[in-house]
Structure 1
Amino acid sequence: MNRTLVIGDIHGGLRALHQIFERANVTTNDTLIFLGDYVDGWSESPEVIIFLMKLKETHACIFLRGNHDDLLLSWLEINKDNPQWFNHGGKITMEKYSLLSEAEKQPHIEFLKLLENYYLDEENRLFIHAGFTNLNGVAYEYFPKMFYWERTLWENALSLDPKIEKDSPYYPKRFTLYKEIFIGHTPVTRVGETNPMNKANVWNVDTGAAFRGPLTILDIDTKEFWQSDPLPELYPDENGRN
């Protein structure tokens, strides 16, 4: 069985990543699409990156760029501090990376530099960390950082009146461009959910692993999904991004 599986925001939770791989019975026949935010929150950010670097040697993997990954790269490359990042999960990541030598950090830097801003498959399904703003699609985006910072795509999906038909002039054009859009970035726990959510043609797979939710892996064809235990249960001595 050849599946395509999409993985939500990991945020340093390697134990959760191991759990969902086991529960979903991930094999080398599966294609794995990671939506970004591999780091920050829990204590195993460097270990998550090491795991992913090794994974791509045995599995077909697509690694997208999250905003936390971009912030880490700026710090590793040019020692660029960001107070907001420091207070939103970056502190423990900085502490862990400070234990590595410059030679040990270099493969992590190269991995982060090669992350993709988005992935569009043969069936016109878009995979992106956060969203996009250009009404003509990702290829026309003027502000590439929106790919991993933007939130209005999901906000619009949440607030869209399901009675509005797709051919209506009031229907958001961004939702007509792609068959489906898979995102992370804005945890569904903000609206009281812990399962992946579908609104319009948008699937949000960030189930709050950075905070008190689980990590999720989703089969993009069947929509079957598997989840880890809530991250605080896997890291009982840590606070995550509470």
Structure 2
Amino acid sequence: MIDLNADLGEGFGRWQLTDDDALLTSVTSANIACGFHAGDPVIMRRVCEHAAAAGVRIGAQVSYRDLAGFGRRSMDVPPADLAAEVAYQIGALEIFARAAGAAVGYVKPHGALYNRCVRDPGQAAAVVEGVRLAGTPLPVLGLPGSELHAAAAASGLPAINEAFADRGYRPDGTLVPRSEPGALLDDAERVVARCLAIARGEEVSAVDGEPLRLPARSLCLHGDTPGAAGLARRIRAELDGAGITVRAFA
């Protein structure tokens, strides 16, 4: 059994980066941008409505306040401020999720915040505090063994292991930075093969060729990857064809 998630709602005003409706036909969980790295009230409302209609679980993709940098620039935000900003983003999305007859089911940091929370216990604890401040003990989606998961476990929040279909990995199980070679996988055959291997609990290859096992309850496909919607359809079909149940974890 595996969950398939993707980043949705990554647009602003008339600008749209992700093909939300097409991705919603394949994924089981939607990481919806909450306005800090992308997204706006109109987009958030629309994607929540469409996700609810499709039976796709809604997740809050929280970020540093960085529209200009798409949330991919690391920032030194005071923990109390970050906790408040995380709670603010969750609360904003919850309004639109409830209006659509659904609810926010989990939280996932985006971009630089996601990567910072792998190794920074202070920022990780602030994200978890923000989840708790929002009022519901939501599951937190992140890398296995991360500081984010340690903070979530310490606070009694469910920590859900995630693996990436289209990102390169270092031998230690962390992601290759986007500024380095091998950060993105653009070979569809390789991406599909990796997804099947992860779902079956088999080893995959790190960027240096070393074998790596990625324990995961959820697989992420980036919505802004070229051809993401078509790739998501293929991944879903391959998982279904292999007898692997694709179901939301939340």
Report the TM-score when normalising by structure 1.
0.39
- Give the structure with higher Rg (CA): 1
Report the TM-score when normalising by structure 2.
0.38
